[in-house]
Structure 1
């Protein structure tokens, strides 16, 4: 609160505060970029990417305007500040900015078609939730058709509110689903530890932060150092996950795949699963 009243607009973010929580969205920004890039051929769609989409370099494809493509990607990346539902699709399309083809632009247009269908969506931050910290991690094994690298998806919650998320291609090629999941869990652990350190400045302390993983094998690697012969090829930097588990900083917990919220950051999903995960993440319409 200030002499100007409560904060309602900041750097493209629109804030609506109520007695039960705060809703943050970018509806105005969404409509602005739709006006900029909609050539009149955008039919609304219910998901940002088809489950059949599998982008690659498309060497024989038709070349499109690189400047326009990069402009579309840049605009969408800024929108992911309040739209985790498009994070995976945008990050996947962003990999082809060096040499975009028609197939890549069609995938980007699909994201805009989804935005045309859901321009008002944003993030809900409840004021009633407890200040507990937890994280989810998932991986799509060899999801990148270009380099056969896996995709890590992670998200972190403070209470019931989503406060951090990511979708990124792993830096090395995983040789198994277990390894890909282990690397993703290490990435999530790193973010949780940073959040723990930051929150300690506000007098909040956390022990055994739950990190939910849907791979029992990846959890076993972190909990059982005897599996050396099967894991010695994994880069040393990822084994700090085991170290922090042993110290009690995090607690690795198995979660069923249907309850793995980070799944939305690793691959395209069908409408029913996508809508369910959006709801669990707190992506909703204004109250």
Structure 2
């Protein structure tokens, strides 16, 4: 066996290791993707999507061949291994494989323009002594114009670096933003799995895993088992989280703690709402603040 030194490159992922942490990014892969689609003298976009643009199946624009589009979205999807900031946008454009229009293709190219200006972006895992697993959740209520389903986004951070993230359209139609947020707390299932995984690595979480949201009613719904007129229609499997929610840290077995992220009277701190990027594809201020 030959020692080849510290890991620097693996399946398109570049790794920079130092005494204070590890930085994982895909600059070379992004550059190859730009070159593949002949984007040499490219324009740089500040966000991966137009804030005023909402995509739908039939938008009135011309139908185009999907061969190139499939290749582009596949490449962008692989780029999300280190780029949770484009996860939602890539998920949205991937819906239109079967009925591709000029507008859909333009939206995918817009993501590529954003990548062109952010090729140095990646995930930094800093060296810390106390590792805590935390999560941020958010949603885009009725964000899909075709079926009015919402998009749920969540990000799990461990040691100040994102370890898992998801941006997915919900299976059912939510009748209110609170219901959408409540459904998004299904991230609790992911939290339970991650807690078990960390235990296998001797990194057992002694305290509750905090799942941050920005809706006070969600906290009440998770802690109150009663059904009433506005919540009785919610499917039982969405109430899974109630079994694991606790209100304090004094119990022996603590699994999940749902907390409101900020005071409702205070403006939302853009850098605190990590899941805003995963749950919505058009929050320009959030993207700009993350890159500053």
TM normalised by structure 2 equals 0.90
User: Could you tell me which residue of structure 2 aligns to residue 284 of structure 1?
Assistant: none
Q: What is the correspondence of 1:72-111 to structure 2 with a 5 Å cutoff?
A: 72-111=72-111
**Which of the two has greater helix per residue?**
1
Shift, 1:64, TM fit: 1.3
CA distances 1:235-286 after superposition (whole Å, capped 9, x unpaired): 111111111114731011101343322111122345432132457xxxxxxx
Tell me if structure 2 keeps the 8 A contact 1:264–1:277: no
User: Could you tell me which residue of structure 1 aligns to residue 122 of structure 2?
Assistant: 122
Gaps of at least 5 residues in structure 1 are 280-287
Residues 270 and 224 of structure 1: is their aligned pair in 2 closer, same or farther, counting only changes over 3 Å?
A: closer
Q: Stretches of 4+ moved more than 4 A in 1?
A: none
| Aligned mates of 2:169, 2:30 — CA distance in 1 | 26
The yes-or-no answer on 1:224 pairing with 2:224 is yes
| Aligned mates of 1:95, 1:129 — CA distance in 2 | 42
* Residues paired across the two proteins, number: 278
Tell me if structure 1 keeps the 8 A contact 2:45–2:110: yes
Tell me if structure 2 keeps the 8 A contact 1:50–1:270: no
Shift, 1:228, TM fit: 3.9
CA distances 1:208-251 after superposition (whole Å, capped 9, x unpaired): 21110111111111011124443221111111111111473101
What secondary structure does 2:257 align onto? strand
Residues 70 and 276 of structure 1: is their aligned pair in 2 closer, same or farther, counting only changes over 3 Å?
A: same
The yes-or-no answer on 1:252 pairing with 2:249 is no
What secondary structure does 1:95 align onto? helix
User: Could you tell me which residue of structure 2 aligns to residue 285 of structure 1?
Assistant: none
| Aligned mates of 1:227, 1:79 — CA distance in 2 | 43
Tell me if structure 2 keeps the 8 A contact 1:130–1:160: no
RMSD: 1.8
Tell me if structure 1 keeps the 8 A contact 2:127–2:159: no
User: Could you tell me which residue of structure 2 aligns to residue 192 of structure 1?
Assistant: 191
Q: What is the correspondence of 1:143-154 to structure 2 with a 5 Å cutoff?
A: 143-154=143-154
Tell me if structure 2 keeps the 8 A contact 1:58–1:103: no
What secondary structure does 1:248 align onto? coil
The yes-or-no answer on 1:262 pairing with 2:261 is no
